[in-house]
Each structure stands twice: as structure tokens, then as C-alpha cells.
Chains A and B, each alone.
Chain A
């Protein structure tokens, strides 16, 4: 699993500066670059694929399984892209799972479903944005610590979701929404949800690596005071970041509605932890100032692949959880070891 040291050393000087807040318009080098952390994650993924292919060659390597793994990674993947931005800025969003739940149940109420496909999509996105707005206002302008503000949102959004559903499962009856999840809707063999995931990833990568907004996000996370002195409106930047996370949750909620064909207040359970874990093993610093979309997506894929391999081999859920924990530790340890050589 250990990566050769050469690419690491080449990579290190060009890696995004973590402490220099504003690079006054200096564009990062064009062209796609995989840094050492991503390479080690790719290594983990390769090992997992080898394990899957070895234990269950027929089932694991089938096209239908690839489609399944990517589909299952899609919902949490979109949430993780938003989370990566927030963590990069030095914040945290504990409310993502609750926002997904609230958006998904609000979008599937009988009243909303009367407006069909557009009504469901619109409601999911607006509820996501609305929750993100409240988070952002509380944190950026209300001066609340992100941990506390989003914890409060976690509690109240889940509560509201429970109140709306009254504990019931709200079945979706809009055929055009349900149709998006079935095989007939695949485009060139790719499920539409996976395409949404890919699009969100691409847009997220472009924003973080190729725009002023992205550089400001890194700057705020690296040193908020320095960023403020450099002329960045830190508060507005924070507001936008939580809005962005809320938007991702809204999109994810719609994807979950397509996948599950229903809205339930238990939706998105523990997404916050999964998204944080994926971002962290992807190489985003929990203290802020460094974030990688590619790493986060690889992190999500690692977790989904593990789940898939375990299910194919019919392992118990207790064993699955233990192994998941072990792999988080292993992935981070591998990164640290590789990085010690690099930095």
C-alpha cells in the first residue's frame, strides 16, 4: 500500500499552500494532478478491488456491480463535496444528515407531490438552501461556533422532519421521479444519479481549484484573520459556504428520493459522520486550509466498495463496522507515513 517516494517529492512543493492565505491571483498550475494522499487512497482502493475480485470474481467485477457501487456512493458523495468546502474553510457541518432528512420528507409531502417532478426537485433544493442559509447566518453573522450552530440545526431539522412525517413513510407516486432510478433510465450504461454525482464533483473541483471563491475558501480556512486583512469578506464567504453545503444536501435529498422511492424522517442517518470521515481520509484538513475534492470522492468510493465487498461475501454488520473503523485508521496512518517522507 505504501507509495513510492518520488512522486511525493515532486508533488510537495507544488501542493496548495496551507498557511499563505492569499496568493494574489496566482493561478494553481493547470492540468490534473494527483497528490500523494490521493495516490495512497488509490492504492487502498486498488487493494480493495483486488480483494473483491479475488473473493467474488463473478459478482464483484460485473458491470451491474460497478453501477451499483457508484449509485450507492452518489448520494453521500454529493453531501461530501459540500462538506469538503466547509471543512476546508475551517468549519464543520454536523447538520447534513438532518438537512437531507428534512428536505426529503418536505419534498415528498402530499402537497408537494401535486406539483410533480419539478415540485419535488424544487422543494428539496429550496429546503436544503434554506437550512444552509440559517446555518450560514448563525455562524457568519450571529457569531456562533459552527459546531454548535449546525448541532442545533441537526436537532431542529430532524425534529421538523419527524413532525412533518409523523413517523410515516411517505411514498412517492410521481412516476417521472421513480423512473430516474430504474435501469431504463441509464445513459450509456451510467445511472442518472451517478451522472449527477459526477457533475457535482466536477463543478466542486473547478470551484475549489480554479476560482477566486475556491482560493478564498482555502484562505479563510488557513488563517481567517490574515484573509480578512487581505481584503476577503470572511463573513460573506462563510455564509456562501454553508449555503453551498445546504444546496448539496438538497440535491442529495432529491437523489435519495429517487433511490428509495419515498421520504422518511430517518433518511440521511449519520451522513455527517460518513461525509466527515470520507473528507478526512481524502486528505482534507479538519483544521482547515487544505481541501481536496478528488480525495473526498475517493474516500467515499473506498467506503462504498468496502460495504459492497462485505455484502457480497455475506459478512455480518458487526464485522462490517469493525472493519470500517480499522480501514479509517489504516488509511490515515498510511497517509501520515507517506507524508512524513514528503514534507
Chain B
């Protein structure tokens, strides 16, 4: 960029500081939602042990779930007096994230927790860390090589689709010629394909059900509203909707309300608090959501700490932590929503 003029610089500075001042004034603190549920399950032991420095590199938290990931990691690390968390600025840019991980390697942290913006693209830097003797806990989006991480923990995207499909299947199993539609997430992500695959496989168990339409949104409220409005226009009658993501589900529910439709049941995905509140209230088409819990970030910190202290996981016979852990995509309905509500993210 060219060097701005003195006046330009002055205006810019004034604008930025005015903005910062105003942000400070219009506070936006929602009610505290501490990860009460994440605290319930102790791992290794809670007593202070050997001091461990954990480096955490995650993607940019521009989405409810990703923000919850960062929050969960931070608050879990604060809980342990023996853990120091070195956290980098989140980034969706692969090159930038590689640089951040390399910085953490140079700082010689004891353990690394990495949620890559793109698992395949960050494999090399994972390998670098492992070769440098820093064990890597790979969070959620998986590296291309098992050599690049000591332990992988993440959600089950295929399982999300499968459980959503089976839930819908059970609800509609007595209905002849039932139609379902799917509002998918970002189509260029591997996880979207897995969620759809699981859903389709589940529907094969129910020959009376047919998937009549699928549209992909962008995980944003705006895209959820726009794509859902189109789907509702295109499908004058259907019995169930599976929406991959609760954030875009806010928009989808808005479109459903705007169209005045309530002739079908909807299943969401991820487990946002707003979705759980709606399920609990029971006054909308949203009847269930399939979990993809951000508490996995807190568990990743637990595992990293255990790794750093050379401990295993309590309740298991093994001396070491496992090499991979896949979370369960539980179906949250009105019956069990109270149990899961504390894990719901804003």
C-alpha cells in the first residue's frame, strides 16, 4: 500500500480511535454462559502437577461455533493452575496459520493444540512440530497424515448426518411417500459432504422417505434465510428438513416464520443455545438438533495437559492418552434438552 498523506493518516487515526471508543461504550456482554457441562467431567486429575505450556492455534472466530471453541479452550486452561495457554490470533488463511504454528514451535511450547482452517494444508507444519519433539493435539479438522499428530479429537460429521437421518426416519416411518429436504452448509468443506453422506445413508433405511431437494448455504444467518426462503417456495409440501448448522438455522427459522409455514419438522445441527431454547419452548418447527459440541476444545486442553505431564486418562486402563477420540453426535430433543442446555453456545 502507498504511504498515506499526513492528512489521510490523521483522519484514519481519528476514525479508528472513534470506532474503538464507541465499541467500548456500546457494551455487548451477554449473560455469562460458562461451560458448566465441560467442568463436570474431570480428566487425569485436577490436582496441580508439572507446569505445562500449551500453544493453541485456531481459526478466526467469525462464527458462533468457532467462537465457542476458543472460549472453551481458554476457560478450561484457566481452570488449571499448572497450565499456561499461549494463544495465537485466529486466522482463516492457511499461510498465516502455518506462520502462527511455527511461532509457537519456536517459542518451545510443551504441547500444541491445533484446529486447522484446512486440515490437509496444515499437515506439514504438524509434522514439523512433531519432529521438533512437540506433541500435537489435532482438534476437529484432521491432518492428512497420522504422523502429524499424537492425538486427534473431534466431532463426527458423518454421525451428525446419520443421527439426523435416523431421527427423522423414526418420526416419519409410518408416513407413506414422505418427503425430506436438506439445507446444507458450505459446499466446499469436506465436513459438509460427510454430513450429507451420513444423512443419505440413514435415509436408505426408510424406503418410504425420499429426499426431494438440497441447497447449500454458507453457515451464516443471511444465507440460511435466503436459501430457506427459496426452498420453501420450491417445495410446497414436505415433511422434514435437516439443516446442517444452527447459526444458519437462525435465518432458516426466520424464513419459515416469514412464509408462515409449520407443516413439517426441522432438525438442526451443532447445538447452539438459541436452537436448544427453541426446542425447549416447542413453539416452532425445530424439534431437535444434532450435536457437534464445542466442548471438544476443553477436552483437547485436558488431553494436552495430560500429554505434557505424561499421564493417561482416568477411568481407562491405558497408561497413555488415546490416539484418537471421536465425539458422539447426540440428538437433543425436548425430552433431554435440559441435560444439554449448559453446553449450548451463543
Q: Which residues of A are interface residues toward B (Cβ below 8 A)?
A: 56, 58-59, 62, 64-65, 68, 71-72, 106, 109-112, 134, 137-138, 141-145, 148-149, 152, 156, 160, 162-171, 181-183, 256, 259-262, 264-269, 307-308, 311-314, 316-318
> A166-B67, A169-B221 given as contacts; is B11 within 8 A of A142 (CB)?
yes
Q: For residue A72, which residues in chain B have a CB less than 8 angstroms away from its CB?
A: 226, 229
Interface contact A267-B12, CB-CB below 8 Å: no
Q: In this assembly, does B66 line the interface, its C-beta being within 8 Å of a C-beta of chain A?
A: yes
Known: A162-B61, A164-B28, A266-B221. 11 other contacts (CB 8 A): A68-B233, A142-B7, A142-B11, A152-B12, A162-B60, A168-B67, A168-B346, A260-B225, A261-B254, A262-B250, A311-B215
Q: In this assembly, does B216 line the interface, its C-beta being within 8 Å of a C-beta of chain A?
A: yes
Q: In this assembly, does B96 line the interface, its C-beta being within 8 Å of a C-beta of chain A?
A: no
Interface contact A307-B230, CB-CB below 8 Å: yes
> A148-B2, A256-B222, A314-B213 given as contacts; is B26 within 8 A of A308 (CB)?
no
Please pick, from A58, A167, A269, the residue contacting B61 in the complex, using a CB distance under 8 A: A167
Interface contact B187-A260, CB-CB below 8 Å: no
Which among B4, B29, B60, B229 has the highest number of chain A CB atoms within 10 Å?
A: B229
Q: For residue A312, which residues in chain B have a CB less than 8 angstroms away from its CB?
A: 230, 233-234
Instruction: Give the distance to chain A from B292, nearest Cβ to Cβ, in Å.
Output: 16
Enumerate the 6 nearest inter-chain pairs by beta-carbon distance, A residue then B residue, closest first. A167-B67, A142-B8, A311-B230, A167-B61, A266-B220, A261-B254
Interface contact A160-B213, CB-CB below 8 Å: no
Interface contact A167-B5, CB-CB below 8 Å: no
Q: For residue B244, which residues in chain A have a CB less than 8 angstroms away from its CB?
A: none
Which among A110, A142, A170, A256 has the highest number of chain B CB atoms within 10 Å?
A: A142
Interchain residue pairs with CB less than 8 A apart (21)? A56-B234, A59-B233, A64-B259, A109-B27, A141-B11, A144-B8, A148-B1, A164-B26, A166-B28, A168-B346, A169-B250, A182-B260, A183-B259, A260-B222, A260-B251, A261-B250, A261-B254, A269-B218, A311-B230, A314-B212, A314-B214
Interchain pairs with CB closer than 8 A, number: 161
Q: Which residues of B are interface residues toward A (Cβ below 8 A)?
A: 1-2, 4-5, 7-8, 10-12, 15-16, 19, 23, 26-30, 60-64, 66-67, 187, 212-216, 218-222, 225-227, 229-231, 233-234, 236, 247, 250-251, 254, 257-260, 272, 274, 346
